[in-house]
Amino acid sequence: MGVGSQFLVNFRHATLHIYTTTSWYLASQAKNQMTTDLKGLNARETEQWAVDNGLEPYRGRQIRRWLLTRLALSFDEMQNLPKTIRALISEQALIVPLQEVTTLASEDGTRKYLFRLHDGHLIESVLLPERDHLTLCISSQAGCAMGCRFCLTGKQGFKRNLTPSEIIEQVVFIKRSLSEPERLTNIVFMGMGEPLANYDAVIRALENLIAEDGMNFSHRKVTLSTCGLVPEIERLGHDTTVNLAVSLNAADDATRSSLMPVNRRYPLKLLIQACRGFPLPNRRMITFEYILIDGVNDRDQDALNLTRLLSGLRAKINLIPLNAAPGADMSPPPMKRTLQFQEILTDHHFTAIIRKSKGRDILAACGQLTGTYAE
């Protein structure tokens, strides 16, 4: 079956699900108003929740371990808790797993997961195979309000922010589905949405993802990508130690504003100033993502402007030829042009990598996530 046919089958399948999950949605909404989603709490808050419900603090630690380390999908799985305690916490807390709508597999091994949230909104996550590990690209919002011209997610508009637990549940679901879950070592916040526009929820999710008593991902292997929300970049450097990636895409304000409306609020001078002040311990660098678009930002002068803009910064540049979609009014440059652009950067002593986008045949590559079905 071709990709187009697969999408059509999945579309019909998903439409059926939307109409048959109304009662599930209403029930979960009613319970949400009365109970606590524990995956959104940190260690101290989970212990306090246990105390507030008449339990010893260590019970909170046990519950947290079941949720974030052992990836329990129900309180009944928590077999080292007495039945009476399991009954109590099932009344006062909830676990709301994501509902898998469909999963598409690319010819290069990439897998794209479409999930339904409890209120019916759809999000996507992408699992990327690397040579010796797996990287998971997760979403932080349903839709996106940033309106970047080259991004299909932005064309869907903004639906809502994800909760901390909905962010974490993407990792839980996919890790549970793997035959070798230990191979999943890297997390990138590069899916649907602008992570820094959902700042508090993302920080809470990050805390549980990298905590030793949480999911225990290395902070060195977690990367957050932003289109350039300057105040939140400044906060991020103080609140967490994960890696920062900036979607740059132009080295002058006129071009960047035409591609990314956020640049009108936070022009390049403010953005680069925030990047220069971002803490970079242990030889780490900021990754600048530069989507190359034929005739728009791929000239030699654009490359030279980029070297001047990033001069003195500990920077790595990911060059990403545009992943065009049907009906798009822009296209990637020829490979010769891409290589010449890279050569100018390397001649000026920058690390510049041409990133091969994975999952393009299933619309899973950078800028292609929509959270919708296509016939």
Positions marked catalytic: 124, 366
What's the Rg (C-alpha) of the chain?
22
Instruction: Quote the CA–CA distance of 220 and 241 in Å, as a whole number.
Output: 8
Q: Which amino acid is at 159?
A: K
Distance from the Cα of residue 258 to its chain's centroid: 24
> Which three-class secondary structure state does DSSP give residue 228?
coil
CA distance 51 to 214: 20
Could you tell me the end-to-end alpha-carbon distance of the chain, in angstroms, rounded to an integer?
14
Tokens of 297: 């930002």
Which pair of tokens denotes residue 267? 């022009």
Gap between the Cα atoms of 324 and 361, Å rounded: 11
Alpha carbons 223 and 221: distance in angstroms, whole number:
7
Provide the 3-class DSSP secondary structure of residue 104: strand
CA 205 to chain centroid, in Å, comes to: 11
* Beta strand extents in the chain (DSSP E only): 36-37, 93-94, 99-105, 111-116, 122-129, 134-137, 141-143, 158-161, 184-189, 222-226, 243-247, 286-292, 315-321, 351-354
The helix/strand/coil state of 271 is helix
Assess contact for 135 and 189: CB atoms under 8 A: no
